[in-house]
Structure 1
Amino acid sequence: MDIHALIYPYDTLLLDLDGVVYLGRNAVPGAPEALRRAAESGVRLAYVTNNASRTPGAIAQHLSALGAPATPDDVVTSAQAAARLVAERVEPGAAVLVVGGMGLRSALRAHGLRPVSTAMDAPVAVVQGIASDLSYGLLAEGTLAVRQGALFVAANADLTMPTGRGELPGNGAMTKVIAAATGVEPIVAGKPEPPLHRESILRTGSKRPLVIGDRLDTDIEGATNAGVDSLLVLTGVASPLDVLTAAPRHRPTYVADDLSALRLPYPQVRRGEGGWTCEGWTARWEEGRLRLDGGGKPLDGLRAAAAATWEAAGDGQAEEDAVKAVLDSSLSERAFL
């Protein structure tokens, strides 16, 4: 492995799926090839997803069909994190009402718990995850069980999920039905909360992980909460404007167009007298606005602009109006598509 490659310091890649490896059923262009090269270099791949609808076996089969190296043991889901969270709080063999799909049921059984579908089974917990066939009847059963005192756990709190057709309602949006009807907010197992990262470390044994994702409020915030490095790829939800206006907990260690960046040296972003520089670009703040000069690859300009903006914003975040002119002129967002 090239010692200058971005990937070199890390022993495990904790990869988000939707928006990073694939969009819907189709691979992100170049992603499977980049992951094969990473695996060949000796880095472990772990696919860490907030999607609780499918089993690790089904996800691994999908990844393999796309050309990415994957086995069921390489997949870590929010369903598994939710199941462990519940198992640590209830008696073995306890009934748990599943408002979701097979991914949750399989994960609960693996922890010795008994999935049920009705509040009449007196479940001690309700676990909710996204499922394409989620019905009003099942949401009603979950509501009844939570009202009767069952622990309420959400696999994740994602309000939306990216697909090939655009962003659709996610589990976070659906859990609001039960939360609104009961007044009880769920304990969240998925990103950015710690349980899913803990599950990933327990399953991989990683000492130096790199979290890779496309969302600032789940993947990157989750890495920040865990105190580990992160790579944001611009193949999913987050946009260049989102990067520039990111709050401290949403600021990634690295920003790249896609997973091909893993095998390349990461350009240095330096602080100089004239501002922050990166590969021919110089960014600085003047009179409360971002200024970017120079030329080259738009991504390098974004890296310099982000460093300057984050420094100026400190513990806060920049206003869109203060940075948008740069995107409208020097760094057209179309250049990143």
Structure 2
Amino acid sequence: MSGYDALLVDLDGTVYKGPSAIEGAVESLEAARESATVSFVTNNASRGPDEVAGHLRELGLTLDTGDVVTSAQAGAAVLAQQCEAGARVLVVGTEALCEEIRLVGLEPVRADEDGPVAVVQGHDPETGWAILAEATLALHRGAVWVACNIDPTLPHARGLLPGNGSFVAALRTATGREPQVAGKPAAPLLQQAIERAGARRPLIVGDRLDTDIAGAHAVEADSLLVLTGVSTPADVLVAVPEQRPVFLGHDLSVLGDGLEATRVWDGDAAGWHARRDGRVLVLRAGDGAGDAAAALRALCRVAWDEPDGAGGRAEVRGADDRAREMISTLGLDAG
């Protein structure tokens, strides 16, 4: 594990998609437990840590409930620092979020004509107009607003679904206000996870540049991006500096002996070579050209080394048949 004393691992799109584990994830994490603390850090506030831990045990992972840190817990902690004990908090979210509010000494409510002092918002598939209307009224009256996360989408076995951030956007539009954010990429959730793990050098692992990797930058920790979830190779190539991972691998299997090889800047590109020709990134396959993640690392070194690599677009071309095939595999053949 290259000296890391804790793994802080995202769940949706990293460990599982829908109810099922991503291939190799369980085995890789169980092996990692031999040399580091493994904690599971999720932006999804819809389930309590006990339910999440139960699901992970069903998948074959070894863990205690305390190894799960949710954005609901982080959101409750943020509110506890700003609200008096017993204060009423309007909950836009599941009963699991209500329970976290109770655990920090606050009173969760679903409606309050006298005006709750705060609104906390987490993902709930049942969120509808009525509760959003109650939240809008409370926010117009000046209630503190904490969003457990602002992820616009949520990975699912069928594809990307609306996430909590999409419902947060509805309240932004209705109120003209901005929430305090507890989950990734904001620091509170990851700081809570680091403190709980007693970590001095954590490695943050996830599938999203805008949450997991940006969150790692927010707490000044190294990060590993896996390509099993939301962020695509095209997203990675145009990532701004504060969303660039230290390590880049296809999936969690690189947590074994292959982690050091997946460093973007000085790791192993496994036979792939890239260069810039004006606005074009040219990929060439050398002897023993490896997997798609290795090819992407080679391209990132070139794309990120130029000023227009920060948010700019470039065409990607292959210098040979193997490279052209890999560009198609990466989904980069459209430009």
Fold match by TM threshold 0.5: yes
Write the distance in 1 (CA, Å) between the matches of 2:300 and 2:244: 9
**What do the CA deviations read for 1:114-136 (whole angstroms, capped 9, x no partner)?**
11110225311000111111122
Counterpart contact for 1:248–1:317, Cα < 8 Å: no
Map of 1:4-153 to 2, 5 A cutoff?
A: 7-39=1-33, 41-120=34-113, 122-153=115-146
Map of 1:1-337 to 2, 5 A cutoff?
A: 7-39=1-33, 41-120=34-113, 122-265=115-258, 266-267=260-261, 278-295=269-286, 296-297=289-290, 298-313=292-307, 316-319=310-313, 321-323=314-316, 329-334=324-329
Task: State the identity as a percent.
Answer: 44
Write the distance in 1 (CA, Å) between the matches of 2:151 and 2:263: 32
Write the distance in 2 (CA, Å) between the matches of 1:230 and 1:96: 34
Residue 256 to residue 270, structure 1, CA distance change in 2 (3 Å): closer
Write the distance in 1 (CA, Å) between the matches of 2:109 and 2:217: 36
Write the distance in 1 (CA, Å) between the matches of 2:15 and 2:61: 8
Residue 287 to residue 98, structure 1, CA distance change in 2 (3 Å): same
**What do the CA deviations read for 1:273-311 (whole angstroms, capped 9, x no partner)?**
xxx972222222122321222241132221111112111
CA RMSD of aligned residues (A): 2.2
> How many residues matched?
325
1:234 positional shift: 0.6
The two structures have a TM-score, normalised by structure 2, of 0.91
Counterpart contact for 1:35–1:69, Cα < 8 Å: no
1:330 positional shift: 4.9
Residue 183 to residue 269, structure 1, CA distance change in 2 (3 Å): closer
Counterpart contact for 2:283–2:323, Cα < 8 Å: no
Residue 285 to residue 332, structure 1, CA distance change in 2 (3 Å): closer
User: Which amino acid in structure 2 is aligned with residue 133 of structure 1?
Assistant: E
1:269 positional shift: 6.6
Counterpart contact for 1:95–1:121, Cα < 8 Å: no
Unaligned stretches of 5+ residues in structure 1: 1-6
Write the distance in 1 (CA, Å) between the matches of 2:156 and 2:265: 38
Write the distance in 2 (CA, Å) between the matches of 1:270 and 1:143: 44
Instruction: Name the SS for the 1:168 alignment partner.
Output: strand
Write the distance in 1 (CA, Å) between the matches of 2:217 and 2:91: 30
